[in-house]
A and B are shown apart, each in its own frame.
Chain A
């Protein structure tokens, strides 16, 4: 638990976010861990969320389309049913009037008592009739039965009267007329035996029609009403009742079929409009039946569900994002830590190897100095012998000769010491022009004795045309030293070692170090630059030499490759830039 708590700040503010160990950079797996972290999160988020988002949007689209289709169908069906009811209501009454004029002639109908009788029968049979009147060809009302006394009124200029003359029957709009009460006039024309015509007119109460319409109304988001062809309301409307009684929906063109469309109302809200032009079999009417449904109201259930889905989706996305971010952070941080450990080990190993190189160098120098020292020892011992064992040699010239010998041996030691100091200076880190030939010769010289004893032939061929290369002397020296050491360890006595160079292009030099020793098997070939890889017996090699060489070559912006065949030998090729890049120069 405490362990987890201790780790927590590391998770919140991961170590790789403040990576500033520039000197470790060449050994890291990734250039920029923050970028890697960002990319990881981005890729994971995209993979996790994108399909989900796309599927959800497609699903929404499908649901909405299906709801629209279904709603339009329902609206259309509702309009169709209501139209049938209204048409039937009107046709029924027109048919009753037609029956009456066919059954009774003009004379009978103009008798007040018989007209009243007909009105009574019609009220009993159908209901919804207010009054009944007979209008002569001139438009003058000649007989009337009903609650208002409108006898003698002239209807010749009433639109329904004119229409009635045209179609033999008519249905008026709802209007107030002389009596100031909203009503519908239905009338049928009939011929008298003398060739003149008369009109039997009935006034219908609007109540029955409004009730019929209301019975089709479903829910509070739906409205059903009649308008005339000018958009004037004919029956009460829930949505459009106002001063003007004018419906502000653009009226559709005439059609004999029921239709439904999606539109927007005056507030820009989507609505479904179903409409039907009312036609009776005997006469056209100016009624248009309208069904208006507010889409928002109908979609409410779906919108609520969608809102819930959106919330669920949003919360899930946030949780996914948090999990991905935390996981990526922890993973990248762990990779970073592992890499950092590796890099630190590599840097430490490189330092150790440098120390080892210096140690090896010192040992080489000590060996070199040993021979002159042995000679000094013997010569000085001999001089001492002369003094102690043979007193007569006091003035002998031979003594001078032997002392010269001592001086000469000391001079040899001096030369070697100077070489050692010169070599040690080369560990300073800075780019400087270097003659590759001199450097290779320097390094080979340290192996000269060993080569002599082991009868190893060394061929160095660095052409004069290779220019001075600007690079870090110490590092290049170590690279060559490591590779030559490696070759010496790989070859048997009597084999040969070749070092040569060529220009790859005007900006790069290639240095070849080839031995004809035991070679490297294919299995090992791709591992040899890995740290701690060695084929030597335990305790004999660290497995760091080539790995560090690799790191050094990379530091000098170069490249190192190896070709080898078991039993035939190995060639290392080091490619180096002639000019070290500006920013890396010290």
Chain B
């Protein structure tokens, strides 16, 4: 399984990536939506993208829309540390695949497995 992880909290992203690697999940880490888009545009393909909802520049929800255009088969998991009103509308749409920070790693693994098993 190849996973794309995008979060502006760099240390958090790196740490999460390490934990996923430990579990045998191949993870590419990016700290902004622009970088992530760049790598997919270059032809790199991922099974699942783990996106932080709130990021400076391209936010998680917007990033999903643009990644979808590049790769229709890609699945998405969102991370959120904010229940703030501004994001509520967006979060509502993705409620099924939206996980709160701090994360429970088992829940994330379970979500990843479930998504990759889907047709």
Contacts and interface: CB of A to CB of B under 8 A. Distances in A.
A75 B35 CA distance: 125
A377 B18 CA distance: 13
Contact of B81 (A363, A367, A389, A454): A367
B66 interface: no
A374 B80 CA distance: 10
Contact of B22 (A371, A390, A453): A390
Place the interface of chain A in its size category.
20 to 34
Given A374-B101, A382-B15, A405-B11, 5 more contacts: A363-B83, A370-B102, A371-B101, A385-B22, A452-B56
Contacts, number: 65
Given A381-B19, A450-B86, A370 B56 contact: no
A373 B54 contact: no
Contacts of A405: 11, 15
A119 to B, nearest CB: 139
A63 B55 CA distance: 97
Interface residues of B, number: 22
A381 B81 CA distance: 17
A376 B18 contact: no
B16 A378 contact: yes
Interface in A267-323: none
Contacts of A402: 15
A47 B68 CA distance: 82
A367 B80 CA distance: 10
Interface in A308-347: none
Contact of A370 (B23, B101, B105): B101
Contacts of A376: 102
A420 interface: no
Interface of B: 9, 11-12, 15-16, 18-19, 22-23, 54-56, 59, 81-84, 86, 101-103, 105
Contacts of A203: none
B18 A373 contact: no
B99 to A, nearest CB: 11
Nearest to B79: A374
B82 A370 contact: yes
Given A370-B102, A405-B11, A389 B22 contact: yes
B56 A385 contact: no
A381 B105 contact: yes
Interface in A426-470: 450, 452-455
- Counting from the closest, the 6 A-B pairs by CB-CB distance are A377-B102, A374-B101, A378-B15, A370-B81, A374-B102, A375-B12
Contacts of A156: none
